[in-house]
Amino acid sequence: MTVPAQKAPEAGAPASLRPARPRWRETLGLLVRNPTAAVAGLVLLAIVLVAVFDEALAPSGPNEIAVEDRLRPPSWAHPFGTDDLGRDILSRVVLGAAVSLRVGFLAVGIALVVGSVIGLLAGFYGRWVDDVLMRVMDVLFAFPAVLLAIAVLAVRGPGPGNTALAIGIVYVPIFARVTRASVLGVREEVYVRASRSVGASDWRLLTRHVLPNAAPPIIVQTSISLAFAVLAEAALSFLGLGTQPPDPSWGLMLAEGRGFIDLAWWLAFFPGMAIFVTVLCFNLLGDGLRDVLDPRQRTLMAGGGR
């Protein structure tokens, strides 16, 4: 039988179990082509680098008090100005990045791991597993978020680690729900049944088929949650429950700057901008990732109209 059209559209390398190009490299390549997401990613990378090398980058110590320099507007000596105790705001924003991001990543990490495992099990196995797990999530979700976080912090005491834990617990039901909803859809896909029909175990189904295909909304949720976690850390610090003075965190700085808003706008403005830019970039990156992670979109974008 001669079936020319069944042959490859173009000849390539001999059969290999691997895709022609490693997946992550292709993903990265496509992400770079999406200008908004690429810029957002670069900015985030810069912010993360700043957070990692905070001590080296900060022009002065964050808690160096210079009363004679208090409430100076932005200048060459102090690009972001100084606060009411004469501390350099740029230095404090730089060190605050480390605190805010560490809390954010840790919180979302906890929520992501716990929440998506719960969602995965509930969605995949259904029946009583689903009933039990999701009712627990509902109870958790029914608490007002801030109240729940306050309760955790009240029990465990304030501090960055406990703040992250508190925010993480609050976000667990969100991840559980997003994952479960996504898994419920994927579970019914014929390719999952097909894989079962060749003898694949539950573990294999979950890790090779269900999770990868259910992942896009979880990834998007992750980047959005990172944004919210940074905000939540700010809010808790603002309430005096998160980071404790004199340590700098963006939320705490915002809270402290509030009192001087008509006198010295830079106190609240720069930490506010830091929060704003970080949150925006996480969101933009999340949108970009969602597009890039869809294989159908992939060819359309990579092929450029094949």
- Residue ranges binding another protein (CB under 8 A): 1-9, 11-20, 189-191, 193-201, 204, 208-209, 212-213, 295-296, 298-300, 305-306
Shortest Cβ 206–another protein spacing (Å): 13
The candidate with the shortest Cα–Cα distance to 206, out of 119, 111, 128, 109, is 119
Give the ranges where the chain is alpha helix by DSSP (H).
23-33, 35-52, 54-57, 89-125, 127-142, 145-156, 160-187, 190-197, 202-204, 211-238, 250-258, 266-293, 295-303
- Please name every residue paired with 88 in a beta bridge, in sequence order, or none if there are none: 82
Shortest Cβ 204–another protein spacing (Å): 7
Give the Cα-Cα-Cα angle 196, 198, 204 (nearest 5 degrees).
Answer: 50
Shortest Cβ 122–another protein spacing (Å): 16
Closer to another protein at the Cβ: 110 or 293? 293
Neighbours of 220 (CB within 10 A): 20
- Please name every residue paired with 126 in a beta bridge, in sequence order, or none if there are none: none
Shortest Cβ 132–another protein spacing (Å): 15
Closer to another protein at the Cβ: 197 or 262? 197
Closer to another protein at the Cβ: 17 or 67? 17
- Please name every residue paired with 82 in a beta bridge, in sequence order, or none if there are none: 88
The candidate with the shortest Cα–Cα distance to 119, out of 196, 185, 199, 192, is 185
Closer to another protein at the Cβ: 24 or 197? 197
Q: How far apart are CA 298 and CA 38, in angstroms?
A: 16
Closer to another protein at the Cβ: 53 or 191? 191
Shortest Cβ 66–another protein spacing (Å): 57
Q: How far apart are CA 95 and CA 53, in angstroms?
A: 9
Closer to another protein at the Cβ: 204 or 258? 204
Shortest Cβ 116–another protein spacing (Å): 17
